[in-house]
């Protein structure tokens, strides 16, 4: 059973509030979808996720197909049983990961936003490790596993078969996610291929049968005419709802989403893929999106970033080490009610991080990619950049950057620190 009902609409924007009914419960919209990439939300049990108010979790088709395998998840009774999550679930198509961990990095990388630094400026190590892992043709994508280099092929039909095995309530059609820097002609070509793949996804989904709701994905990059064309084509297909994918300029994301929302059927839900910064969610809601997913919360948390009413707080800063105030005065959440900034900045964490960094330096003759795989080699660069910026930081973090990344810090991490 799948149903969507709009309960309220804004009089001065495209915002609306509603309810999505699924076989495993309801999602009150607008809603943020918690990301559990590999059928687990990092550092949290399903019970903890539920206690925080999350109503729906999204898992990743690409990663679960590679490990532990969709057939194993099916044998366990599907994702709900496998990860002990009783509520609604989504799975993405695997398209973004195939391209972001494969060939698309060779064209500046797949990212949700065009940022101020040059995405084409990558270390030789990264270019050698990531570029050319995937090849696109009309049938689908041939790619190598980022884990062990084994060869795989993903098509619209195969994506549907994997997602049916995983058993989430809401699944997504297979699409091509392009780099934000790809030229107009290629954005158009990829969009049209996404439309053909959408039809094939829909046909295979209907052939397989079952209670799952399939969402089609709108592409088109940052171009108004392509976005509007894609929303009309995808909106005209028999999907239960729609995903808005691709890349945006952060400053005009709301405008781009509005182009799409105005052309999609009003009575079906719209999901904004990979968007999760607070200001972006607000812009998305005003532009007619109903649900959102992003790894931002867990990524920020593991890097020591906390969101407060006064902006971002870096709990690793020296100023927090002796601060007995809560994160947010007057906040009623469990953490603010029970723990001080000083406790959360406990120095026990520092020596452990330094120990891990020294262990990396003790590994001879191997690259970060060979040790950690992808995307953890990229996460290491971001983390080392962050820790090196902390007041009084051990020089070991800078040494890791020098050893594995030619001394080049992660530009996006520095941008986020500068804005916090």
* Backbone CA torsion sign across 203, 208, 214, 219: negative
- Joined tokens for residue 184: 């107009």
Taking the C-alpha atoms of residue 91 and residue 62, their distance in angstroms, rounded to an integer, is 10
Going by C-alpha positions, the residue among 158, 168, 216, 130 that lies closest to residue 35 is: 168
Taking the C-alpha atoms of residue 250 and residue 236, their distance in angstroms, rounded to an integer, is 28
**Active site residue: 169, 280, 290, 293, which one?**
293
Residues 306, 310, 315: CA angle, nearest 5 degrees: 30
- Joined tokens for residue 129: 């490790």
Buried b vs exposed e over 215-250: b needs ≥16 C-beta within 10 Å? bbbbbbbbbeebbbbbbebbbeeebbbbbbbbbbee
List all residues 6 or more positions away from 171 whose beta carbon is below 8 Å from its beta carbon: 90, 91, 93, 160, 163, 164, 205, 212, 213, 214, 215
Given phi > 0 = left and psi -120 to 50 = alpha, else beta, which region is 23?
alpha
Per the omega criterion (within 30 degrees of 0), is the bond before 30 cis? yes
Half-sphere exposure at residue 250, Cβ-oriented, CA atoms within 13 angstroms:
11
DSSP state letter for 286: H
**Active site residue: 92, 175, 280, 377, which one?**
92
Taking the C-alpha atoms of residue 406 and residue 228, their distance in angstroms, rounded to an integer, is 43
Instruction: Tell me, yes or no, if 293 is annotated catalytic.
Output: yes
DSSP state letter for 381: H
List all residues 6 or more positions away from 302 whose beta carbon is below 8 Å from its beta carbon: 42, 43, 383
User: Measuring CA to CA, how many Å separate 305 from each of 50, 279, 294, 330, 362?
Assistant: 22, 16, 16, 19, 29
Active site residues: 92, 293
């Amino acid at each position: 059973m799948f149903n969507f009902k709009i309960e309220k609409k804004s009089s001065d924007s495209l915002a609306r509030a509603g309810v999505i009914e699924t076989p495993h419960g309801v999602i009150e919209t607008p809603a943020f979808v918690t990301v559990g990439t590999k059928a687990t939300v990092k550092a949290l049990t399903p019970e903890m996720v539920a206690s925080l108010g999350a109503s729906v979790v999204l898992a990743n088709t690409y990663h679960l197909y590679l490990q532990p395998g969709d057939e194993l998840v099916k044998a366990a009774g599907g994702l709900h049983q496998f990860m002990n999550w009783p509520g609604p679930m989504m799975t993405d198509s695997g398209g973004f990961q195939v391209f972001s961990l494969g060939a698309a990095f060779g064209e500046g990388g797949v990212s949700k936003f065009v940022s101020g630094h040059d995405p084409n400026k990558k270390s030789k190590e990264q270019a050698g490790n990531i570029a050319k892992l995937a090849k696109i043709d009309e049938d689908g994508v041939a790619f190598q596993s980022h884990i062990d280099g084994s060869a795989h092929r993903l098509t619209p039909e195969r994506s549907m078969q994997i997602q049916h095995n995983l058993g989430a309530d809401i699944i997504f059609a297979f699409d091509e996610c392009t780099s934000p820097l790809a030229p107009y002609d290629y954005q158009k070509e990829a969009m049209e291929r996404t439309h053909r793949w959408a039809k094939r996804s829909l046909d295979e989904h209907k052939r397989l049968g079952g209670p799952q709701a399939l969402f089609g994905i709108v592409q088109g990059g940052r171009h108004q005419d392509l976005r509007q064309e894609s929303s009309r084509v995808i909106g005209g297909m028999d999907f239960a709802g729609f995903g808005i994918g691709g890349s945006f300029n952060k400053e005009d994301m709301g405008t781009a989403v509005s182009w799409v929302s105005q052309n999609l059927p009003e009575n079906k839900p719209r999901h904004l893929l990979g968007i999760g910064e607070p200001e972006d969610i607000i812009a998305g809601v005003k532009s007619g999106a109903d649900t959102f997913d992003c790894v931002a919360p867990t990524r920020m948390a593991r890097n020591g970033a906390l969101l407060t009413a006064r902006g971002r707080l870096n709990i690793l800063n020296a100023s927090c080490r002796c601060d007995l105030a809560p994160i947010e005065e007057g906040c009623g959440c469990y953490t603010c009610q029970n723990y001080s900034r000083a406790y959360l900045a406990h120095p026990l964490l520092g020596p452990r991080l330094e120990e891990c960094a020294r262990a990396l330096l003790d590994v001879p003759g191997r690259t970060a990619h060979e040790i950690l795989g992808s995307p953890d080699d990229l996460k290491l660069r971001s983390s080392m950049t962050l820790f090196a910026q902390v007041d009084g930081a051990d020089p070991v973090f800078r040494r890791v950057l020098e050893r594995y990344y030619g001394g080049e810090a992660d530009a996006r991490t520095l941008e986020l620190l500068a804005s916090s």
